[in-house]
């Protein structure tokens, strides 16, 4: 895979170079969750990462915030190698990079009250000088995410799903991060609540100059929040472009199939659209197909796709694809 | 697609009311809903979690836990009999044979210790009295029908040897085994990835056309509804707040909750700069549901009368009804939000 070179004018806050994460399964086999991904995330943007379950999108997010060590490749945050940093520098990185998880039920400690959940990071990084300052900060954060002061002494179970996700957002914001990995932050929520959280995340981004990596399987949600979108398939990035460009002119057959599979809440559109339903299931990431990984399900697969590792290249300015022989 | 709407009634649910006894008191999950299902149509029941849509479906199959379910009233007439009052013995004849159900999670609805073949033939032997040999042949036919390759080998396998999408196909095959007249599909594609979801929805639609069954589709996803349904009932807090044909609900909705639902979903086709319009707040607590319209607390158009009394249904066409005080002659004239009108 060729190096990703920057496009546009934004400064890269995060550079991912040929990142791989393999998990050992059994004696000789390894599950190639992420298998050679290179991309840059620019300061202040939202990069959306979409793909089906098992494509490695969550693993990418987890490697970035150092929940996993990569098997190969590197991640640079502000020029600093995230995985080779130790001591105080590492602690600082932990503060600058935060994560919001999918399940607001599982990601909040049920035995802690909200103020302690939100202030945990403040305590660890000594961001408050007195008890009063700590509490003021918690109150301020709760109000920022649309909750109120009175909520500070309650336990997570006293909240609805949407409110819990707001607590998760407040916790991430508490340490004044620069970069947030949001892993399916709205997938567990009802549609009417989803929109509340998406709008909240957009507002916070503007007010706090945040950069997001927004991971989701929901293409419509990703389009709404992202400036650029990357599509993953079996551990690799197959397409990356500006959000509007990707949805208007998808080039890779997988992106096309994925977009055409999304049911659109518009009956006329639904009855008129041409659907490319792709057959079959995702191959195992333990033993991915050679060459182009999508070839086993690709509606336009060609013989050559099995032998060539498709190069990562810029099809038009800012629009990157894994150039499989079937369409290149 | 709208062809099937005028078919004859196959199921009539009248004033269904279901509550659950809990430590915290009585939870009123379904609070008097009335709807009918016609031959050969797909009726979608849409709503958010806790709106009572799954409870409705399960009550028709009599699958709710007996210990704490309180049937407060109503009836569900199928072939001249009230499903809610049938003896368990009689219900066993209907469940799985005349009315079948597909659940959300295909892993939990299959028995992990039983071969797929036996899980399909089970109901064939029970309901149709087929011999082992004949039932196995029919199982292979069914797997072919739902698009499972090499069915002869597959019937000897266990559920864990199937992928999620394939498992859901098996579940559908089991549901179709006895040629049901009604198929109740409770979030049939929610646990699946989009590409697999598209396969399953396509399959359900084809099967319905081919076999002419009536389908009740329970879902929270309006995209799925737009793709599959003929008629739609929108549920909120245990009530049906609006019902109509697919086009009426999407292009001419008459109730602020339906407006809110439509305006809050991100469309892959829409302009990104348009902000989503969320519905503020959250659904009411069903152990103490509001006396009037349950949407009042979240409704931007709420009036003084709204919290005091549930509105009568206003009829807009043969199929289209909505419960909202805005349609009272004395109510002010209100335009739905731009995004709702804009989807047309």
Which CATH superfamily groups domain A12-106+179-187+209-322?
P-loop containing nucleotide triphosphate hydrolases (3.40.50.300)
How many whole angstroms separate alpha carbon A121 and alpha carbon A100?
Answer: 13
pLDDT at B185 over 50: yes
CB contact set of B252 (below 8 Å; sequence gap of 6+): B244, B316, B320
Interface of A with B in 20-79 (CB under 8 A): 52-53
Which structural domain, as residue segments, surrounds residue B13?
A: 1-98+213-344
Q: SS3 of A254, please? A: helix
Interface of B with A in 196-235 (CB under 8 A): 196-199, 201-202, 220-227
pLDDT tens-digit series, residues A233-255: 999 999 999 999 999 999 999 99
Residue B222: list chain A partners with CB under 8 A: 191, 265
In a domain, B207, yes or no: no
In a domain, B108, yes or no: no
pLDDT at B342 over 50: no
B107 and chain A in contact, CB less than 8 A: no
pLDDT tens-digit series, residues B63-76: 999 899 999 999 99
Place B338 in a pLDDT band, splitting at 50, 70 and 90: low
Show me where the domains of chain A are located.
Answer: 12-106+179-187+209-322
pLDDT tens-digit series, residues A69-119: 999 999 999 999 999 999 999 999 999 999 999 888 889 999 999 999 999
- A–B: how many Cβ contacts below 8 A? 135
pTM over 0.95: no
Nearest to B271 by CA among B193, B338, B199, B210: B338
pLDDT tens-digit series, residues A125-147: 999 999 999 999 999 999 999 99
Q: Encode B106-142: b = buried (16+ Cβ within 10 Å), e = exposed.
A: beebbeeeebbbbbbbbbbebbeebeeeebbebbbeb
Tally of domains within chain B: 1
In a domain, B162, yes or no: no
**Residue A205 CA, distance from chain mean position:** 15
- A32–chain B nearest CA distance, Å: 19
In a domain, B153, yes or no: no
Best mutation target, B190, B282, B286, to test chain A (most A CBs within 10 A): B282
B197·A261 Cβ contact <8 A: yes
pLDDT tens-digit series, residues A180-194: 999 999 988 888 888
CATH code, domain carrying B296: 3.40.50.300
In a domain, B191, yes or no: no
B262 and chain A in contact, CB less than 8 A: yes
Structure letter (DSSP) for residue A53: T
A190 → chain B, closest CA residue: B48
pLDDT at A40 over 80: yes
Q: SS3 of B291, please? A: coil
- A230–chain B nearest CA distance, Å: 15
How many whole angstroms separate alpha carbon A109 and alpha carbon A88?
Answer: 26
More confident residue, B142 or A7: B142
Which pLDDT score, from 0 to 100, does residue B339 have? 60
Q: What rounded mean pLDDT belongs to chain A?
A: 90
A223·B272 Cβ contact <8 A: yes
Place A270 in a pLDDT band, splitting at 50, 70 and 90: confident
Asked whether the CA dihedral B259, B265, B266, B267 is positive or negative, the reply is negative
Q: SS3 of A57, please? A: helix
Residue A104: list chain B partners with CB under 8 A: none
How many whole angstroms separate alpha carbon A322 and alpha carbon A296?
Answer: 16
More confident residue, B233 or A278: B233
Structure letter (DSSP) for residue B333: P
ipTM of this predicted structure: 0.81
């Amino acid at each position: 895979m060729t190096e990703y070179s920057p496009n546009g004018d934004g400064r890269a806050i995060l550079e991912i170079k040929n990142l791989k994460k393999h998990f050992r399964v059994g004696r000789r086999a390894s599950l190639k969750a992420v298998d050679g991904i290179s991309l840059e995330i620019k300061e202040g943007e939202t990069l959306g990462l979409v793909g089906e379950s098992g494509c490695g999108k969550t693993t990418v997010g987890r490697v970035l915030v150092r929940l996993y060590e990569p098997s190969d490749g590197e991640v640079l945050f502000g020029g600093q190698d995230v995985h080779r940093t130790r001591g105080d520098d590492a602690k600082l990185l932990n503060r600058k990079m935060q994560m919001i998880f999918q399940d607001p039920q599982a990601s909040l400690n049920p035995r802690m009250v909200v103020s302690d959940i939100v202030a945990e990071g403040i305590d660890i990084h000594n961001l408050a000088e007195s008890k009063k300052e700590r509490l003021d900060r918690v109150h301020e954060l709760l109000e920022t995410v649309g909750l109120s002061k009175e909520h500070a002494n309650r336990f997570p179970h006293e909240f609805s799903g949407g409110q819990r996700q707001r607590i998760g957002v407040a916790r991430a914001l508490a340490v004044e991060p620069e970069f947030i990995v949001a892993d399916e932050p709205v997938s567990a929520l009802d549609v009417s609540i989803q929109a509340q959280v998406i709008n909240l995340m957009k507002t916070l981004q503007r007010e706090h100059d945040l950069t997001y990596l927004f991971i989701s399987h929901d293409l419509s949600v990703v389009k709404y929040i992202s400036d650029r979108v990357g599509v993953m398939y079996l551990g690799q990035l197959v397409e990356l472009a500006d959000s509007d460009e990707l949805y208007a002119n998808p080039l890779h057959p997988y992106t096309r199939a994925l977009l055409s599979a999304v049911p659109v809440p518009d009956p006329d559109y639904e009855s008129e659209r041409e659907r490319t339903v792709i057959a079959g299931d995702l191959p195992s990431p333990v033993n991915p197909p050679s060459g182009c990984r999508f070839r086993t399900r690709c509606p336009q697969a060609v013989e050559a796709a099995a032998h060539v590792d498709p190069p990562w290249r810029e099809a038009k300015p800012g629009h990157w694809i894994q150039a499989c022989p079937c369409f290149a | 697609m709208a062809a099937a709407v005028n078919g004859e009634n196959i199921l009539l649910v009248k004033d269904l009311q279901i509550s659950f006894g809990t430590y915290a008191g009585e939870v009123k999950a379904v609070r008097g809903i009335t709807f009918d299902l016609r031959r050969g149509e797909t009726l979608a029941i849409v709503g958010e979690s806790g709106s009572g849509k799954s409870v409705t479906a399960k009550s028709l199959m009599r699958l709710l836990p007996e210990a704490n379910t309180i049937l407060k009233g109503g009836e569900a007439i199928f072939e001249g009999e009230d499903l809610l009052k049938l003896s368990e013995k009689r219900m066993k004849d209907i469940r799985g044979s005349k009315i079948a159900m597909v659940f959300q999670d295909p892993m939990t609805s299959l028995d992990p210790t039983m071969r797929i073949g036996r899980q399909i033939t089970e109901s064939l032997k029970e309901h149709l009295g087929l011999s082992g040999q004949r039932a196995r042949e029919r199982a292979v036919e069914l797997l072919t029908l739902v698009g499972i390759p090499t069915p002869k080998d597959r019937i000897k396998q266990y559920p864990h040897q199937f992928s999620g999408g394939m498992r859901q196909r098996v579940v559908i095959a089991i549901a179709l085994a006895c040629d049901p007249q009604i198929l109740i599909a409770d979030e049939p594609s929610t646990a699946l990835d989009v590409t697999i979801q598209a396969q399953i929805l396509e399959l359900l639609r084809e099967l319905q056309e081919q076999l002419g069954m009536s389908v009740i589709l329970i879902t929270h996803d309006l995209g799925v509804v737009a793709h599959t349904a003929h008629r739609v009932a929108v549920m909120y807090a245990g009530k049906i707040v609006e019902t109509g044909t697919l086009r009426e609900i999407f292009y001419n909705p008459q109730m602020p909750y339906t407006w809110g639902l439509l305006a809050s979903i991100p469309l892959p086709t829409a302009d990104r700069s348009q902000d989503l319009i969320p519905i503020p707040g959250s659904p009411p607590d069903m152990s103490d549901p509001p006396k009037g319209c349950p949407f009042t607390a979240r409704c931007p158009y709420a009036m003084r009368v709204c919290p005091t009394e549930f509105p009568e249904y206003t009829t807009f066409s043969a199929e289209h009804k909505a419960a909202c005080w805005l349609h009272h002659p004395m109510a002010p004239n209100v335009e739905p939000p731009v995004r709702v009108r804009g989807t047309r």
